[in-house]
Chains A and B, each alone.
Chain A
Amino acid sequence: MDIQKKVVFEPGYLLEKIDDEITVYHPTLATSLYLNETGALIWELCDGERSISEVIDILVENYPENSPQIADDVRALIRRLLEKNIAVLR
């Protein structure tokens, strides 16, 4: 995964944030996705402007105690988004 790229979500998805978690549904793709608190944070940081590398840097800066696993968590979530075709890298 090229972490200099940006995550761009497929338009048309529906999202609901509930208690710091997120449920996403994409009607055209008929696919749904659950994001826990960490996943929701990563989703929100992936605003189409920041690169994956920048997202990782922000999380490491704000959560230094979790820095060893942050890059893996971000990559794992983005892989899920790509597998479900909810996002592409640009």
Chain B
Amino acid sequence: MKSPSHYTVTFAGQHVTIEYESGEVYEFLSLLFSDLHEEAAIESETLLWISAGEAEDEYVLSGVGGNPFGGCLDVRFAAVVFDAVIYNLLNDNSQGIAFHAGAVAHEGKVILLPGESGFGKSSMTACLLAAGCSYLTDELYFIPLDDSAPRLSFTRPLCIKSGSAEAVRELFSEDLLAAALGDQYGYIIPHRLLNPEFKKISAPPSLILIPKYTADSPLSIEKLSPAQISTLLMTCDVNGRNLEDHGFRQVVRMARATPAYRITYGSFHGVAEAMNTLYKELGWI
């Protein structure tokens, strides 16, 4: 029997090691985690296993304390792997506060897109990429307790759920989407297809933009006060329970220091122009 291999994902000082056997799984994990993978051996307990299932092309993801999930290596399987890995990376992390948030950069300035699942952070991230921003993450942004330490983006491929796939197809070329992993569950788009010159940016956010998708809503951008944005950010924290004050003071500091807006949209039409107007207001261009 072939001996198992191990794939370690590292983020915010925490490691998750996944045990697997097949080359197909390695390729899949590399698609999902290439920017977060440690090549060098790390002393890390194996927390997740991806083993062959009963049917051909079927695999089973299992983990400590979680229910096994079976299926082929598709977009849905990827979503389950992401959830399991992120849970294990952040469950005990008390070194900072992680937010459910997308992040992109415009001319080196970081735009944070916080939002709970379903509010459109991945699709707005995609829209801003199509408008010329560079990619950092569509899922998770980590602010260490030490304000001078680098901010961290969970740089995974851009993950578009089936509900947003049609809208996102308007943004990117057919060739680009053909190179992505796509099925009835959505798309997983390797971010270097969008940003061949990708580089990590660890600067604090220069702008917080709350995406709010509302069907048929006209496009609008409204300024949010520091108290409003603090309150909203506290609904997006992932691991706050590990911190004494759930990260509240840190959130307030960031909210005081960072201009914040809510962008309400029913389609992507006009978003690029509206953002250019906002950049001018902020003195970025």
Contact = CB atoms under 8 A, between A and B. Distances in A.
B276 interface: no
Contacts of A32: 230-232, 234-235
A30 B241 contact: yes
A71 interface: no
Interface string B217-231: 000000001111011
B6 interface: no
Interface in B214-257: 225-228, 230-232, 234-235, 240-241, 245-246, 248-249, 252, 255-256
Contact of A34 (B227, B245, B248): B227
A19 interface: yes
Contacts of A23: 226-228, 230-231, 234, 252, 255
Interface string A1-29: 00000000000001011110111110100
A18 B230 CA distance: 10
B227 A14 contact: no
Interface residues of B, number: 18
A69 B228 CA distance: 23
B235 A19 contact: no
A35 interface: yes
Contact of B226 (A14, A19, A27): A19
Interface in A25-60: 25, 27, 30, 32-35
Most buried by A among B226, B230, B245, B249: B230
Nearest to A26: B246
Interface of A: 14, 16-19, 21-25, 27, 30, 32-35
Interface of B: 225-228, 230-232, 234-235, 240-241, 245-246, 248-249, 252, 255-256
9 contacts: A14-B249, A21-B225, A21-B228, A23-B227, A23-B252, A24-B231, A27-B248, A32-B232, A35-B227
Given A16-B252, A27-B240, 13 more contacts: A16-B227, A19-B226, A21-B225, A21-B227, A22-B227, A25-B246, A25-B248, A27-B248, A30-B240, A32-B231, A34-B230, A34-B232, A35-B227
